[in-house]
A and B are shown apart, each in its own frame.
Chain A
Amino acid sequence: MKEFTVLDLLDLDLKEKNTLELKCIGGRPGLSRVITTSKINRPGLTLSGFIQEFAYDSIQVFGKGEQAYLKTLEAKKSFNTIEKMFSFAIPTCVFCEGGAPGEEFIAIAEKSGCPILTTGLQSGDFSLRIYQVLSDIFAPQTTIHGVLVEVFGVGVLITGDSGVGKSETALELIERGHRLISDDTVKLRSVTGNILIGEGENEFLAHHMEIRGLGIINITHLFGVSAIRDKKQVQLFVQLEEWDSNKNYDRVGEDLTTNILDVTIPKLEIPVKPGRNVPIIIETAAMNERLKKLGYYSAKEFNQNVLKWLESESARNLYYNNEDTF
């Protein structure tokens, strides 16, 4: 992953509940400083002169308390501890609730090349949001060759060899009212370690498809905004493959899974051959997946019923043949 700088943080296009309301109020040359961790630090202890274990590589967040303490320091003209703090390479300092430090503080920060930002948010809110935003950015990620579609609200990642019909299958699903997230290359991020979020590699290319014989088509223009989506959790992994008569496909609902970025996802292997309507199979698989989430596990329940039935049969037999058992 390329380096993530303070400038990138200011440039992030975040909407509504994610907005950070950040503004730079000093130390502009320092905007090229790199942020390396999603953690934040409240520098209260550092300001009071205690610098052991100072998490200098985190973003320093100044809430009301820190700002009030800073004011007392400024009133006393005591800047030793501030200078000591800026002797570390701090990525950036953020002042919450629209606060701003005094000129001396900014001068010291600028001398050390640290940019000063301010936000209108409360420190608690800001910490929460920046942590979410940064953990998204620093999440482990990988790119996979496949199509990501949302089918009945389930994120289905369709993979398979080139030419097996991934795009055609996805096109039919879109035609049937489902949504395209990305065709061909899907960027996957493991958020919080157990959720896999998929999105297009590039926002300008994501909602286009290449169909053999047609060329590049624009899904948004052809099917409207209801046919697209920016990102979606991957909940089902579908592998399309050419029908191999020597291979045994799942007949009774085995639980195949696959591992991507240490996240386990249910997997289906669907053989493709003329006459098999793959989109409808995928639709059914997505609905079945939703049923499982609701606690109805068709395959398991079916087998439990069979077992119950067989058991009662065998009890009856015991009763009929009681001469040799009792």
Chain B
Amino acid sequence: MIEKQVTVKNRAGIHARPAALIVKTANSFTSNLYIERDTMRINGKSIMGIITLGASYKTELKIIAEGADEELAAEAIEQLFLNRFEE
């Protein structure tokens, strides 16, 4: 299991498009992926789940990857946050 701390860097927060981007990336790995905000933990492969986090600008999130390619998966998702979801 691998955990990474990330911050939402794009102004609009995680709305539908970034959520779809996360799911698309997550689905390219076999590992299970979870995203945590405070006490809420959702499946990183569910669009509705990610939107439900209500992650606005500067929100701190924790990415948790679990599985054979967990390192790569966590890194790829972290990269999305660092790139501000191409916004």
Contacts and interface: CB of A to CB of B under 8 A. Distances in A.
Interface of A: 248, 251-253, 299, 302-303, 306-307, 309-311, 313-314, 317
B10 to A, nearest CB: 10
Contacts of B47: 251-252
Nearest to A312: B56
Given A252-B47, A306-B51, A299 B16 contact: yes
B54 interface: yes
Contacts of B27: 248
B77 to A, nearest CB: 16
Per CB-CB distance, the 9 closest pairs between chain A and chain B, nearest first, are: A310-B13, A314-B56, A310-B56, A313-B56, A303-B16, A252-B16, A314-B57, A306-B15, A252-B20
B15 A310 contact: yes
A317 B58 contact: yes
Contacts of A310: 12-15, 54-57
B17 interface: yes
Interface residues of B, number: 19
B19 A252 contact: yes
Contacts of B58: 314, 317
11 contacts: A248-B24, A251-B20, A252-B16, A252-B17, A252-B47, A253-B16, A299-B16, A306-B16, A310-B57, A313-B56, A317-B57
B13 A314 contact: yes
Give the one of A251, A307, A317 with max B CB within 10 A: A251
A306 B15 CA distance: 6
Query: Residue among B12, B23, B56, B59 with the most chain A CB within 10 A?
Result: B56
Contact of B56 (A248, A251, A311): A311
A313 B17 contact: no
Contacts of A299: 16
A307 B54 contact: no
Nearest to B19: A252
B13 A313 contact: yes
Given A251-B23, A251-B47, A252-B47, A302 B16 contact: yes
Nearest to B14: A310
Interface in B24-70: 24, 27, 47, 51, 54-59
A184 B55 CA distance: 48
B57 to A, nearest CB: 5
A253 B47 CA distance: 12
Contacts of A314: 13, 56-59
A309 B12 CA distance: 10
B83 to A, nearest CB: 18
Contacts of A306: 15-16, 51
A314 B12 CA distance: 9
B34 to A, nearest CB: 18
Most A C-beta atoms less than 10 A away, residue of B15, B23, B27: B15
Contacts of B13: 307, 310-311, 313-314
Nearest to A303: B16
Nearest to A307: B15
Given A251-B47, A252-B47, A303-B15, A309 B54 contact: yes
Given A313-B54, A314-B56, 4 more contacts: A252-B16, A303-B16, A306-B15, A310-B56
